[in-house]
Amino acid sequence: MTTPSDDELLQLMFAGDEDAFLTLYRRRQGPIYRFALHMSGSPSIAEEVTQEVFLALLRDGRQYNPMRGSLAAYMYGVARHHVLRCLEANQPYVPISQEASPEGQESSAREPAAPGDILADLTRHERIEATRRAVLSLPPNYREVVVLCDLQELSYAEAAAALSCAIGTVRSRLHRARALVAERVTSLLKDSARSRAASPPAKAARCFV
Amino acid sequence: MNCQDFEAIVNDLARDQLVLVADRARALVHTETCARCAARLADERMLTAELRALAASSEPLEASAAVEEALLRAFRRQKAASAAVAARGRAWVGAAAVGALAAAMLILLAVTIPALRRNGPPEPKPAEGFRETKPPRKQRIEVAEAPVMDDLTAADEEAEAPQLLPIDLSVGLLNTASDVFVPLHYGETLSDLDGDRVVRIELPYSALMSLGVSMDEDPGNDGVEADLLLGDDGLAHAIRLVR
């Protein structure tokens, strides 16, 4: 038995098939949530956006035209619209590192490493965190192409459909956005190294027992 | 390949996107001779690795179960609402059909009742082989005075069938070739029918009776020739019998 496509699930959902709706939701909610999370830096906004995207699909899903792009691209487009609206309403956003993660959703980057890999793990975690902050610091029009193309691994064509722009625009924005991310990551890592060097070494405590 | 061409595809190279084999080969050859572009490609690959690490670190993240529950409730609500709307729609369609049928019947009655009142009893169909003659436009057709109900004499009122116009075949219309038309309907004035069409037809005796014309002698199996004076409405308003 072949796995039903997104479009087939959507049609079944319109016909009132609850299982089809659940299947479509469980297939697509993760990418939509992560897109909103990387765009906003806020798990609560990401949840709100995810809910809004699927509510919009229930309400206005018949407006989706397969000739204009995939259902995933359509949903990313709806998510982008809601994220930008939330960002406008909730400026300044709360970065991920300052907001508690949802229960049971600890990032793998925060999992304890093996004792021998502590230093490597700290370095990796530091770079990931710097990259996350660098992406979040981008202007929205650059941030969305990085999130879609590099983090969500959409093709240029899918990203263009989601953003309602030309493929050439996606390519040029991505080129510029990656350069900005690289600059920002380098800067953040240098700042981090400087702050470590500037912090006083821990004093040895003598025990006067 | 020069540095500018290399810059145009360095992102695709670093992100393992589809690049023409020839372009990829030329770009890699270029990095062997250009240290700056080689470093540029290395930086881009490192950035790609960092972004993929970030994507992998957030891979397990997803919306909480509360979102799924809320959406499921919304789906069920919408499904129930759609079913209710569909039921209302079916009821409305039924009511609309009944209403449309009633309206159609009213319109039919409104159209047919005045027409029936105006036309009176149905006219006999002309017999086969009727001849149509059209009088000269300016020709005046002499018509007999219509027996208006108000002018009826007491003798007329005593007649058993006032609708029938007694005609004496021996001396009446059938024996004459005059232009005198007898109106078919009581109370109708024929002066406004000047110059209208005259159609000559051959009528069976029974049809003549239905027109309200009685004959004193049986014409036998032969039909009776008559001229019908047709009004602008296409209806026969007067008759003239010819042998």
Mutation to test the A interface, candidates B5, B19, B62, most A Cβ within 10 Å: B62
Beta-carbon contacts of B29 under 8 Å, excluding residues fewer than 6 positions away, are B1
Put simply, the answer to whether A58 touches B74 (Cβ < 8 Å) is yes
Put simply, the answer to whether B61 touches A37 (Cβ < 8 Å) is yes
In a domain, A2, yes or no: yes
Distance CA A153, CA A159 (A): 9
Q: Which residues of B touch chain A, with CB atoms under 8 Å apart?
A: 11, 15, 43-44, 47-48, 50-64, 66-68, 70-72, 74-76, 78-79, 82
Q: How would you write the pLDDT of chain A (209 residues) with one tens digit per residue?
A: 678 899 999 999 988 889 999 999 999 999 999 999 999 998 999 999 999 999 999 988 888 888 888 999 999 999 999 999 888 887 655 454 444 444 444 444 444 555 567 777 788 888 899 999 999 999 999 999 999 999 999 999 999 999 989 999 999 999 999 999 999 998 988 888 888 777 766 555 555 54
- Mean model confidence pLDDT for chain B: 72
Residues of chain A contacting residue B19, judged by C-beta atoms under 8 Å apart = none
Query: What is the extent of the structural domain holding A125?
Result: 116-197
Put simply, the answer to whether B52 touches A47 (Cβ < 8 Å) is no
A138 and A184: one domain?
yes
Indicate which CATH number applies to the domain containing A148. 1.10.10.10
A127 and A76: one domain?
no
A79 and A124: one domain?
no
| Cα torsion through B166, B172, B177, B179, rounded to 10 | -50
A145 and A175: one domain?
yes
Residue B84 has pLDDT above 90, yes or no: no
Distance CA B116, CA B131 (A): 28
In a domain, A29, yes or no: yes
Indicate the helix (H) or strand (E) that contains B219.
Answer: none
Could you tell me if A107 and B58 are in contact, meaning their C-beta atoms sit under 8 angstroms apart? yes
Using CA atoms, how far residue A27 sits from A4, A21, A22, A44, A91, in Å, is 11, 10, 8, 20, 31
pTM value surpassing 0.95: no
Two structure tokens written together for B179: 């232009």
Residue B20 has pLDDT above 90, yes or no: no
Of A98, A127, A156, which residue is a domain's last?
A98
Could you read off the pLDDT of B103-112 as tens digits, one per residue? 888 888 888 8
In a domain, A205, yes or no: no
The pLDDT assigned to A198 comes to 77
Residues of chain B contacting residue A157, judged by C-beta atoms under 8 Å apart = none
pLDDT confidence tier of residue B125, bands split at 50, 70 and 90: low
Put simply, the answer to whether B82 touches A16 (Cβ < 8 Å) is yes
Residues of chain B contacting residue A143, judged by C-beta atoms under 8 Å apart = none
A1 and A85: one domain?
yes
When CB atoms are compared, the residue of B56, B68, B71 closest to A55 is B71
pLDDT (average), residues B204-218: 65
Could you tell me if A136 and A95 are in contact, meaning their C-beta atoms sit under 8 angstroms apart? yes
**Closest residue in chain B to residue A59, using alpha carbons only:** B78
What ipTM, to 2 d.p.? 0.79
Could you read off the pLDDT of B27-63 as tens digits, one per residue? 999 999 999 999 999 999 999 999 999 999 888 888 8
Strand partners, B143: B181
A9 and A91: one domain?
yes
Say how many domains are in chain A.
Answer: 2
